Structure 1
Amino acid sequence: MTARDLNGTVDDATLREVVRLACRAPSVHNTQPWRWRIDGARLELHVDRSRQLTVADPDGRDLLISCGAALHHAAVAAAGLGVPAHVVRFPDASDPDHLATLTLAPGSRTPRALAELHALEQRRTDRRRFTSWPIPDERLAKLAASVEHHDVHVLPLTDVSVRFRVELLISRAMTLQDGDEALGEEQRRWIDHSRSDGVPSDRVPDVDVYPSHRRSRFSPPPSQDSRHQLVESTDGLLAICTEKDDRTGWLEAGEALSGLWLHATTDGLSVVPLSQVIEVAETRVALRHEVFGALVAPQILLRIGWQEIARSELEPTPRRPVEDVLLP
């Protein structure tokens, strides 16, 4: 069966393959908070509210960023399979959880589309510590410029004083989250959540900020040495920011995250999202005003680095079967 039938339309097998590949998108704690509906040659993306982190993400910012990444993955998959999509965001004003509709039609498979599809299949979230090889500023700037959405700004953070302030805010956010028992319990539920979602415990390194290593409120505060420096001086640091701090901006930030991550994968770079500083209201406000001058709304920070060449390749983290994410 091919991507088009005798009438030149898109067949069901191809539509399901686009959904499968879209579900490879990164999501907060691998919650995969999306549902899809196949309607003829159209795919509808809907948010799955049952998978929202109600303690860490009461406004749904991370939820929409995750869905935006899935939307971009779907568009990349469709183009790579030769059925490029026309995307309409928020097509139904009466249904805010209907995030986008993609209309697919047979077309050509360009070299760029094939390269992006290959990057999609190779992309991983590798939380293992980077090597000490620095990321050149020009390489970071090129990666930032790869995002082409006019309402999204990807800003390299290279100034020493700016990085120092950002690292202090990240540390402050971590400290505030460490003392939140409900938050810790919510995040622990997504470690080894099931065979098809959540974060496998063997993917959480010993030195990291992930919730399985969160101390309880009764534990003594860790020393600076025991916590380890979250952002090394050789790491690249990028901020994905939007002009609007609303549902539209969050969805667009997720699309930008996906596009940037695929470009990084092609360039042999590793990406680790840092969302804590955005999730905590105090540090989010400080980041927006003290670092970005209130000109844009930061949505997510990214650490960029190199993984060791000889390091073993990670298997994909688990994903829900296509049947589980399809709406009737």
Structure 2
Amino acid sequence: MSTASEALARAADTARLAPSVHNTQPWRWVVRGDSLELYAVTDRQLREQDPAGRLMLLSCGAALHHARVALDAAGWTHTVRRPAGEPLAVVQAAAPGPADPAAMRRLQLLQVRRTDRRAVSDEPVAPEAVQAITAAATAGGARLHVLNRDQVLELAVMIEHAGDAERHDERMRAETASWVGGERPAGTGLPDAVIPVELPLTTVAERDFGVSGTLQAGTGHDTAAAYAVLYGDGDEPADWLRAGEALSEVWVAATDHGAAVLPLSSPIELDFTRQALRRMLGEVGYPFLVMRLGTTDPDHAGPAHTPRLPVEQVIEIVED
């Protein structure tokens, strides 16, 4: 039987697999006995695209969810405190027990999930899968609004405007270039293998990173895709951390139902498009992220996993 600190260190290691904006991995873990502390690393924050640190916190929330799933799978009961400020969260290990097969299945899903920028097929995501994914958002502490056709067209215009604004902003372009393709911090960023050779011709445009990757994205369109907005009642740091947990929960459900997920953060990065999204929601909540849900060609392998920072850069173990 492992000790609490060993279980927490393994959970933090699992959290290295979490998704993050531009694969910045803006988190750091400290293991102190039977507690695991989560901190944001502002050195890996996107200062131009995410000046308020919202997407950084969302990324940290996804990592927190990964760590919790790993503890569940190992049979460790635990509690979580989310203090205002730093650390963002403290996971307290309580007692070990037998491994939970359902939790082990969830962990396996997190280990295989990936961001898929390939074109989706003409087969829509099954209604029961969309229902399960929507329920997962609620279980994770947020909500998911699936867009109707008219709203998808509105979203397409928003993303076009966001893309134009960022392409005309020299500092934003330079920031993207530092994380995508070419030279970038070791273990982070988006390599050519996960970026399409060329952008597919879709109604809602994928993000143009300004580089040509090596991923064969296919010739499909997005007419069969479902688009959704992850949102919540608040706009405080704690709400964005919860949003990341909900995103990770959504990804578990999507992967379990064979749905590919593509997060679209560009309309969140600019105030005018984020406000337009909020109006689309009837101003009943604050948008955290847009995502595309679709099915991909099962006969073709998905993109490679993005690189990860080494353990020693993201996990510190403090001995008693």
Query: TM-score with structure 2 length normalisation?
Result: 0.89
Runs of 4+ in 1 over 3 A off after TM superposition: 148-151
2:158 alignment counterpart? 169
Correspondence for 1:258 among 240, 245, 248? 248
The yes-or-no answer on 1:18 pairing with 2:17 is no
Kept after mapping to 2: 8 A contact 1:236/1:303: yes
Aligned residue type for 2:243: A
SS of the residue corresponding to residue 179 of structure 2 reads: coil
Aligned residue type for 2:296: Q
Structure 1's 88 and 164: CA in aligned 2 closer, same or farther, altered over 3 A? same
Partner Cα distance (1:97, 1:315) in 2:
33
Aligned residue type for 1:35: R
Partner Cα distance (1:155, 1:137) in 2:
14
1:31-58: CA deviation from partner (whole Å, max 9, x where unpaired): 0000000000111000001111100000
Kept after mapping to 2: 8 A contact 1:152/1:241: yes
Partner Cα distance (1:231, 1:17) in 2:
40
Partner Cα distance (2:286, 2:298) in 1:
36
Q: How far is 1:148 from its partner?
A: 3.5
1:224 alignment counterpart? none
Partner Cα distance (1:269, 1:111) in 2:
22
The yes-or-no answer on 1:209 pairing with 2:207 is yes
Structure 1 window deviating more from structure 2 (63-72 vs 131-140): it is 131-140
Once the two structures are superposed, the pairs formed by residues 19-168 of structure 1 within 5 Å of their partners are: 19-90=12-83, 93=84, 96-104=85-93, 105-149=95-139, 151-157=141-147, 159-168=148-157
Q: Which blocks of at least 5 consecutive residues in structure 1 are unaligned?
A: 5-9, 215-228
Q: How far is 1:324 from its partner?
A: 0.8
What is the number of equivalent residue pairs in this alignment? 302
Structure 1's 230 and 283: CA in aligned 2 closer, same or farther, altered over 3 A? farther
2:168 alignment counterpart? 179
Aligned residue type for 2:58: I
Partner Cα distance (1:245, 1:143) in 2:
22
Correspondence for 2:191 among 183, 192, 200? 200
Aligned residue type for 1:238: A
Q: Which blocks of at least 5 consecutive residues in structure 2 are unaligned?
A: 200-205, 213-218
Kept after mapping to 2: 8 A contact 1:243/1:296: yes
Structure 1's 119 and 169: CA in aligned 2 closer, same or farther, altered over 3 A? same
Q: How far is 1:77 from its partner?
A: 0.8
Partner Cα distance (1:238, 1:75) in 2:
25
Q: How far is 1:314 from its partner?
A: 3.6
Partner Cα distance (2:220, 2:295) in 1:
15
The yes-or-no answer on 1:267 pairing with 2:266 is no
The yes-or-no answer on 1:241 pairing with 2:234 is no
SS of the residue corresponding to residue 189 of structure 1 reads: helix
Q: How far is 1:307 from its partner?
A: 1.4
Kept after mapping to 1: 8 A contact 2:140/2:242: no
Q: How far is 1:138 from its partner?
A: 4.0
Query: TM-score with structure 1 length normalisation?
Result: 0.87
Kept after mapping to 1: 8 A contact 2:140/2:245: no
SS of the residue corresponding to residue 37 of structure 1 reads: strand
Q: How far is 1:125 from its partner?
A: 1.2
Structure 1's 32 and 147: CA in aligned 2 closer, same or farther, altered over 3 A? same
Structure 1's 309 and 325: CA in aligned 2 closer, same or farther, altered over 3 A? same
Kept after mapping to 2: 8 A contact 1:231/1:303: no
Partner Cα distance (1:62, 1:174) in 2:
17
Q: How far is 1:212 from its partner?
A: 3.0
Structure 1 window deviating more from structure 2 (130-139 vs 162-171): it is 130-139
Partner Cα distance (1:319, 1:176) in 2:
30
SS of the residue corresponding to residue 54 of structure 1 reads: coil
Structure 1's 33 and 144: CA in aligned 2 closer, same or farther, altered over 3 A? same
SS of the residue corresponding to residue 210 of structure 2 reads: helix
SS of the residue corresponding to residue 234 of structure 1 reads: coil
Partner Cα distance (1:70, 1:210) in 2:
26
The yes-or-no answer on 1:295 pairing with 2:284 is yes
Q: How far is 1:151 from its partner?
A: 4.8
Sequence identity, in percent?
A: 35
1:162-221: CA deviation from partner (whole Å, max 9, x where unpaired): 22212211211111111111101001100142441111122100214242349xxxxxxx
